[in-house]
Structure 1
């Protein structure tokens, strides 16, 4: 095929050698993609004859010997070289290899590199370099930032501990996307480049204040400085980015003061995470100007405020996390009807001072009443507008009895955590409308009455914690039909009768049912047949109340079907859990 110019064979199981014409002049091939195959033989020498190549992808080839970069010397027209996932000949890294001088894009992630490649210094046209997921230690060399066309630099997941040169070493670099995450950088953060569009430096040990010079970067769209040791206050000048800034993540630092009331009309902010700091004051009402806001996390601070009913005016808010602060008062106002956040799927407000009761129709208008994908087709929450960087939101979740950090927040499920407050009254029967609910935690409150029969409609439910309340009556028999329910805890209530005998329930530990003097049956040791008395049944009055309530809901909300089966959907979109137990020195996992 002498006229072939583009050949893409990526992601197959190809093995063996590659044959090319003896004469290099007979080939017009410019774009060759062979990545993610299983070549074992000597395939590089034949490729070196294809002197017309501009794009070459040899990533993750599983070749037996380290790649000698000098094999590409003849490819003078090569602009894009992808070698990620292969071992490189160590001698190439410490010398000026005869690598194609016009390279613009060089991908060397997962190459087991232990020293910074010195040959990069000769690549004056280099625009993008990826050295992520290697073993490089020490300081980033000063000469890197003087490369005149350098635009995208990814040094994440190595062991860098600093920068050669002064605090202004990055200032005049043309770099617009800089990823320093998952390293060992310490000390003050240097002044960022003027052209900076995205800065990711999470999971390092930077100290001092967030540099005010970052406010002069008018094109900044994403700022992730989470999991560091920054101190001081959040810069007021972040308000300058109302036309560009979409993502701010300052999670797990030592920031103090209040969250600035700086958000002007037209702000494009979509994700704001300031969790695990020492912030005080109130939630800034100017957040109402962020009409694109989807994700708001202020957990584990010292914010003292009432429940932000006013946030329901934000049309796209999907995640609201207020956990472990000093919020107080009711989360339902008399005469205001159901909670009307139009898109809310995740509500985490545990360990505050919220009080009061919830009306039966509290959850009627929730988006989580259906298991639907986002309109844009996205599976995970985050900012995907930048094709060169994948930012994903992170939230904490009390799930299956463990407190975990949950990355890759799925866009089509729901989670509710009201635990550790002072709620009272009955659990709203409308909870059964939330078909996408996978985790429900109402523990450590003062809820009374029966466990809602409508819980049996939550076919996607995986974790249910109702422990340490004042619930009475029996455990609904329908819970045993929830095939995804892996964790249930109803301990320390006033429940009676036989525990439903289903695999998902009897497989739980005894501790999940202890503290209920009237319960019997497996997994407890108390038998329900020590007397001739018949098993305790659900009161008829309760059944009538549930039927009446269902009739009201069906009349008010046409189209809601309690018997919707979600098994097939859950099978297709089973949540991907990349979690870890929170610890002071833990990493967020990709």
Structure 2
């Protein structure tokens, strides 16, 4: 495995310590090796962050180091291989750290042989722990002082119970316990936790139920973290007060998302330095006592909308408070003059910012987003000497003058999106050369002299300019942004070609150019980089083929090239991209049949497949449908929770980016701002597909939308489609389908949009469940359908009659013309034709001049030919 791949997820301090091991015969001089100075035995092995890959062989020489006391393999990549059972041979181990090392499988029982352990850290997400091994380990580890078992959700594999009499609560030397992100069964915190009187550091999450009162007995705690339990963890008012009273040594208290539902305490421990009570349902008035805690450096109370009050004017001499977050509360007040980080978002603040804040010399972060602040942004926002982050998005600020923006070498993040900023893109803005994040989307920014100024953002990682009035060509200086991770220029008026350097940006993860006027061919994306996960160029004028360089985008999840003039055959080779979930080729000039890729696993994660409004032809690709494994509901799949696509990046500004998609639902383009994992759609409408509807579509049991309208499909509607019990929209209109509507389709309980109009279907319309809700327009243009909701009664005509096929796609006038043909008009036309035909037949035989008859009509229609098909007018989305 390459070092490049390893560095993608490891920290920047990783380096191969074992690389130098062959350079000296004295192993005690090797990196990471510690020896006993008296006898030369190896007693310590620290290979943390050493770029180790693969697995450890059970007969490895590692397990011959019988004097080993410390083994640290933190932050390596062991490919989810098992922890070798031979680990039990290292009986002298006192410190064992395998955290974040990507082991997998069960924790071996032999681990319990290490009875001398003082520190055990097995914080590896996905490791499995059975109850027998859990209890055996804890029973033998009588000297244990530090225990960390952050394994992730193991409840679905091997349920582990922690009872009040568990061996865990007999570890009287334990001073640090971390059961973060586990899910034991039962998942409540046992009462026995109060017996661990020597605990100094306790971190529990993933538990639910009521926090036991016994937790307040842990009077030696220095840090307590019960956060992020999604409000399933309850803390009653009595226990909360007892904790604050008894924890006289507590410095760190984090109860984020614990449901406390009590008044905010009046007094808190003077030892506290960090307090996080965000989203805890606290209520009441915030008093001055909170701000007078002598050692308090950080206070987070956001998300408690029942808190109110005005925080007092605090002077630097009275507090060490450097971080204050009271967002989404009812607390208000003036900006304090001593805070280093100030967050007051979503608090309904209004009016302009003060013009002078000369006292905010210690401010490093200012976040006043999601309020109703207006006026112009004062110059002091850009001139404070320590300021590194400014977030003023979602307000009503207007104007962004050049003279306001000051060159500030410390400023790294600037968020001004969703305001009323107008005017030309400020030239002085490009002088903030140390910016890493710049977001000014959803404003009214224009471009002076027809082009953007030359960018000087050599450190920029995030650039969001969407929803403005920017125009002209992109400056070539964008190629200097070598660190760019997210580039969103969508919904502007940019034109000309896109610089090809976008294809060689090593870090670029999200590229969104939707709704502009770019022309030329698509740049060779992923030509020298494989980091792109989202490519959206929908709604431009790109032409030519799909660049084959996309084959290297092995992390690509979303590819949307819809609404351009791309001329190509179906790019079946995209099926080799194993992470691809969204493929949109709609409204282009794609043509030819849908070919299959030659790999074993083709489009395995694809969930949105939109080829509509093109010139594709041939039969529907049954084999391709069979590859869509992500559209097949697997046994045991959890469908109760709706999740949304999100970036795999660890950077918060990239994770906040949400992929969107436009789908045709009920004949209208609907833009979904987020793509959920249940949005599984196939849209092949407005093409020239022929043949029958494949029965294999029934296997795509999680399909949500299926649109095959405006094609030349023939044959019966497969009754197997009734097995698509999650389908909500089905459109088979404007084809040449024959036969009856299968009764089996009534099994589709979630069907909300249904259109079979303009086909040649016959017989009664089925009834039951969702079918009782569909109106006439679901069936119009089928001359021999009968029964409700149609006015035609069954049994009034020959139901075996099948009309001659019409052209599948006509222009708007033809559509209107053919829609006027009802069964009444056909009967009248037939009668009139019968009379005329009889008269002409009599004349022919009376005067015996059939040659004259033929020549007469040949003269009237000398150039009769079949009318060619017209393409349906495309609608740009």
Please classify the TM superposition score into its range, dividing by the shorter chain length.
0.7 to 0.9
Counterpart in 2 of 1:366? 628
For the structure 1 residues 15 and 210, does the alpha-carbon distance in structure 2 shift closer, same or farther, using more than 3 Å as the test? farther
Distance 1:174 1:257, change over 3 A: same
Q: How does 1:140-155 map to 2 (within 5 A)?
A: 144=405, 146-155=407-416
Matches within 5 A, 1:344-493: 344-358=606-620, 360-371=622-633, 379-389=643-653, 390-493=656-759
1:8 aligns with 2:257: no
Q: 2:775, 2:514 → 1: CA distance? A: 35
Counterpart-to-counterpart distance in 1, 2:745 and 2:696? 16
Distance 2:267 2:504 in 1: 56
Match 2:343 to one of 79, 82, 85: 82
Q: For structure 1, which runs of at least 5 residues remain unmatched after alignment?
A: 537-581
Distance 1:158 1:91 in 2: 13
- Structure 1 residue aligned with 2:125: none
CA distance in 2, matches of 1:119, 1:52: 29
Summarize the Cα distance change of 1:411–1:142 in structure 2 as closer, same or farther, 3 Å threshold: farther
CA drift at 1:112: 1.6
Instruction: Specify whether residues 91 and 357 from structure 1 end up closer, same or farther in structure 2 by C-alpha distance, changes over 3 A only.
Output: closer
The whole-number CA distance in structure 1 between the counterparts of 2:315 and 2:756 is 66
> Which residue in the other structure is 1:314 paired with?
577
Question: Per-residue displacement from partner, 1:276-321 (whole Å, max 9, x unpaired)?
Answer: 0011111111111222222111111111111111222222222111
1:6, CA displacement in angstroms? 2.4
- SS of 2:771's equivalent in the other structure is helix
Maintained 8 Å contact 1:63/1:86? no
CA distance in 2, matches of 1:313, 1:458: 27
Residues 1:170 and 2:430 are matched in the alignment: yes
Contact 2:425–2:452 (CA under 8 A) maintained in structure 1: no
Deviation at 1:500, TM superposition (A): 1.5
Distance apart, 1:172 and its partner CA? 4.0
Whether the aligned pair in 2 keeps the contact of 1:244 and 1:268 (CA below 8 Å) is yes
- Deviations 1:21-79 (Å, cap 9, x if unpaired)? 6xxxx612222234446666541523221342322224344478785684475444414
Aligned: 1:332 with 2:578: no
Match among 261, 276, 289 for residue 33 of structure 1: 276
TM-score (norm 1): 0.81
C-alpha distance in 2 between matches for 1:39 and 1:341: 49
Distance 1:342 1:95 in 2: 58
Number of the residue aligned with 1:579:
none
Secondary structure of residue in 2 paired with 1:7: strand
Task: Show the counterpart of 2:464.
Answer: 200
In structure 1, the residue matched to 2:498 is 234
C-alpha contact (below 8 Å) 2:515/2:540 kept by paired residues: yes
Return the index of the structure with the highest Cα Rg: 2
Which secondary structure state, in structure 2, belongs to the residue aligned with residue 368 of structure 1? helix
Shift of 1:183: 1.5
- Any stretches of 5+ residues in structure 2 without a counterpart? 1-246, 324-340, 801-873
- Aligned partner of 1:221 in structure 2 is 485
Q: Structure 2 CA distance, aligned partners of 1:428 and 1:152?
A: 53
Given candidates 202, 206, 211, the residue that maps to 2:475 is 211
For the pair 1:264 / 2:527, whether they are aligned, the reply is yes
Candidates 288, 297, 304, aligned match of 1:45: 288
Q: What SS does the aligned partner of 1:276 have? A: coil
Measure the CA separation in 2 of the matches of 1:364 and 1:496.
Answer: 30
Structure 1 residue 517 displacement after superposition: 1.1
- Paired with 2:459 and 2:598, the residues of 1 have a C-alpha distance of 48
Q: Write the distance in 2 (CA, Å) between the matches of 1:20 and 1:10.
A: 19
Per the alignment, residue 782 of structure 2 pairs with: 516
Evaluate the alpha carbon distance shift between residue 359 and residue 203 of structure 1 in structure 2; reply closer, same or farther with a 3 A threshold.
Answer: closer
Residue in 2 that maps onto 1:568: none
CA distance in 2, matches of 1:259, 1:316: 21
1:514 partner SS: coil
* 1:301/1:324 contact within 8 Å kept: yes
1:539 maps to: none
Please give the secondary structure, in 1, of the residue aligned with 2:770: helix
Per-residue deviation, 1:412: 4.7
Query: Which residue pairs with 2:391 in the alignment?
Result: 130
**Other structure's SS at 2:670 match:** strand
CA 1:344–1:502: 2 relative to 1, 3 Å: same
- Partner of 1:55 in structure 2? 298
The equivalent residue for 2:420 is 159
